[in-house]
């Protein structure tokens, strides 16, 4: 198992040359998050996650959480780690200063969260879900709810969860049966929720559950679902914790991966009803919850990047040490990192990870502009950009995480199949990413339906236009030609789908992957062109030549997949109706 090192130069390069952080931090509300401040805190964050959190990854995998006497016992490897993270302020970077947060842009928080996710992705889910609760309360909570809950949630002293799924209601939330009965100034919640990430634990002082439920007279289907806030411990008028609420864990899932994260079945109301409070309008809980879910989808996409980075680092270290066979130009027996096919796999892992990182941080920076830019037109355009890119970040980055972690096992050869090397853990941990927060099939349908057909391709066409402007200004001629060809593929796919909307559901996955490949290459090309200009000006840093080489590798070894995706999109879709699975 390798020692994790934060790719600080890569992160700083993206912040400076892709995100344009010097412009971003000048927006209202971000004045205290200057580039100098970021340059000072990121090395401190790197030191914390490398030295304190990363060593917990393997032991918390081998000693997972379990249920005992209606209480979740988390891995002993995590004892005290969350409290150190809270005390150091790493949970509150992007929180509003009004409620005790540091007020940094979300893109800086995402950079720090990548460090946490690479260090221990299962553990990282604890603050990730809390951020979703914070996001939902900021949008839909009452002033009283914000004052009561946000300070403790932003600091990390309290954590949060998202409660959607039930045994009979997976992705189809219209089947939710959990009940909410009015009772004075609150509601009594009863029902069962499954797959609740960090649904119970003792790491935080309290857990704030956001729960989808129905009132007795609510209409059927999605229109009758409301959102409720249900604390693990009730809260007294002075803000102190009161008695335990009527919610308890009744199971902890035995999962393929992310063993350090307790995934719970929660029972609400076994003893009369859990006290809950309405968040947002009645019967519009799905709308409120989706704001939280979309926030989480971007986080999951970046989890894919983070797990890929950890797998890549481990594969490079193993390949540099494992001696086997002979290679021309190397005296004696060579380490396998010199073997061409191993170099191919490592290059593929790096290219996919760096491409995903660039696409993800580009999107999260757009989210910052959507909420803070002074120009309303820029805010609107940025918000539309985030809407379009969210299913790509979640869908494409998590698909690539599966590919990258699988390659990591392959680089290790037979040792990759042995648990003790740790390579298999990354692959198992990554497998949940294409599933939760909406499967990648759902992301594909969202991208082709809501983000393409609904506005007749207007938003995606704007994205293609921006890609074209980048191609016109590209200083790397080889990449420029390929970027123009990629734009033509995107244009062809878009026009075909708009003209053949009846087959959209069938080709949705191919459509998402083609655009994911293309958007990722676009971002890599921008960074490669910056690197080329720096080299032309006399900068000889090896990092710069590697940025160009990585983009060129992506263009020749990964981007050709678009030919197959486009062919599948324009093909006859009737064959799917002719298939039978009886």
Residue 547 lies in a domain: yes
Residue 504 lies in a domain: yes
Residue 45 lies in a domain: no
Residue 529 lies in a domain: yes
Residue 181 lies in a domain: no
Range of the domain at 500: 452-582
pLDDT at 1: 65
b/e sequence 344-360, b meaning 16+ C-beta within 10 Å: ebbbbbbbbbbbbbbbb
Residue 522 lies in a domain: yes
pLDDT at 169: 74
| Residues recognised as catalytic | 437
Q: Are strands 233-235 and 241-244 parallel, antiparallel or unpaired?
A: antiparallel
In terms of Cβ atoms closer than 10 Å to its own Cβ (0-12, 13-18, 19+), residue 148 is buried
- Domain count for the chain, please give it: 1
pLDDT at 81: 98
Q: What is the pLDDT of residues 336-366, one digit of tens each?
A: 999 999 999 999 999 999 999 999 999 999 9
pLDDT at 287: 87
Q: What is the mean pLDDT of each run of 10 residues along the chain (582 residues)?
A: 91 97 95 94 98 98 95 97 98 94 96 98 97 94 97 98 87 84 97 96 98 93 93 96 97 96 97 97 89 88 98 97 84 88 98 98 97 96 96 98 98 96 97 95 97 96 96 92 97 97 95 98 97 96 97 98 97 77 81
Residue 570 lies in a domain: yes
Residue 281 lies in a domain: no
Give dist(CA 160, CA 360) in Å, integer.
24
Q: What is the pLDDT of residues 16-25, one digit of tens each?
A: 999 999 999 9
Determine how many CB atoms are found less than 10 A away from the CB of residue 327.
17
Helix, strand or coil, per DSSP, at residue 231: strand
Q: What percentage of the chain's residues is helix, strand, coil (to nearest 5)?
A: 60, 15, 25
């Amino acid at each position: 198992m390798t020692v994790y090192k934060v790719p600080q130069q890569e992160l700083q390069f993206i912040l400076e040359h892709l995100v344009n952080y010097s412009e971003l931090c000048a927006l209202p509300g971000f004045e205290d998050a200057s580039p100098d401040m970021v340059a000072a805190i990121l090395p401190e964050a790197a030191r914390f996650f490398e030295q304190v959190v990363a060593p917990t990854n393997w032991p918390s995998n081998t000693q997972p959480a379990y249920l005992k006497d209606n209480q979740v016992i988390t891995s002993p490897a995590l004892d005290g780690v969350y409290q150190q993270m809270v005390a150091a302020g790493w949970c509150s970077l992007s929180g509003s200063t009004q409620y005790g947060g540091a007020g940094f842009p979300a893109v800086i928080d995402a950079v720090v969260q990548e460090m946490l996710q690479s260090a221990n992705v299962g553990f990282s889910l604890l603050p990730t879900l809390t951020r979703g609760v914070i996001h939902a309360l900021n949008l839909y909570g009452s002033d009283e709810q914000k004052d009561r809950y946000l300070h403790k949630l932003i600091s990390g002293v309290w954590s949060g969860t998202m409660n959607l799924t039930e045994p009979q209601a997976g992705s189809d939330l219209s089947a939710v049966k959990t009940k909410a009965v009015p009772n004075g100034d609150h509601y009594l919640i009863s029902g069962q929720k499954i797959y609740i990430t960090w649904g119970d634990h003792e790491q935080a002082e309290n857990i704030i559950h956001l729960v989808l439920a129905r009132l007795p007279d609510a209409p059927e289907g999605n229109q009758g679902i409301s959102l409720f806030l249900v604390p693990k411990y009730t809260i007294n008028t002075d803000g102190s914790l009161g008695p335990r609420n009527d919610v308890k864990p009744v199971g902890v899932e035995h999962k393929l991966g992310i063993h350090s994260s307790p995934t719970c079945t929660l029972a609400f109301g076994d003893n009369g009803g859990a006290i809950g409070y309405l968040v947002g309008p009645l019967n519009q809980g799905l709308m409120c919850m989706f704001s939280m879910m979309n926030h989480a989808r971007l986080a999951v996409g970046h989890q894919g990047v983070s797990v890929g980075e950890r797998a890549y680092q481990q594969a490079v270290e193993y390949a540099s040490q494992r001696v086997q066979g002979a290679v021309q130009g190397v005296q004696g027996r060579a380490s396998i990192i010199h073997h061409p096919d191993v170099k191919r796999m490592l290059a593929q892992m790096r290219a996919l990870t760096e491409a995903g990182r660039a696409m993800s941080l580009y999107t999260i920076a757009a989210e910052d502009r959507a909420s803070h830019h002074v120009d309303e037109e820029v805010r609107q355009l940025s918000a539309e950009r985030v809407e379009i890119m969210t299913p790509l970040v979640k869908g494409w980055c998590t698909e690539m995480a599966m590919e990258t972690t699988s390659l990591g096992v392959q680089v290790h050869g037979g040792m990759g199949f042995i648990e003790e090397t740790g390579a298999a853990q990354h692959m198992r941990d990554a497998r949940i990413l294409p599933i939760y927060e909406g499967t990648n099939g759902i992301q594909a349908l969202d991208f082709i339906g809501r983000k393409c057909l609904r506005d007749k391709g207007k938003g995606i066409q704007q994205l293609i236009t921006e890609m074209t402007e980048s191609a016109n200004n590209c200083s790397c001629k080889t990449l420029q030609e390929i970027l123009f060809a990629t734009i033509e593929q995107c244009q062809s796919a878009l026009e075909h789908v708009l003209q053949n909307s009846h087959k959209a559901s069938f080709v949705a996955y191919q459509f998402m992957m083609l655009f994911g490949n293309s958007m990722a290459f676009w971002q890599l090309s921008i960074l490669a062109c910056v690197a080329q200009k720096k080299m032309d000006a006399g900068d000889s840093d090896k990092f710069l030549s590697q940025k160009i080489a990585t983009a060129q590798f992506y263009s020749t070894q990964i981007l050709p997949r678009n030919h197959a995706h486009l062919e599948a999109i324009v093909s006859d879709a009737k064959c799917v109706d002719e298939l039978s699975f009886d």
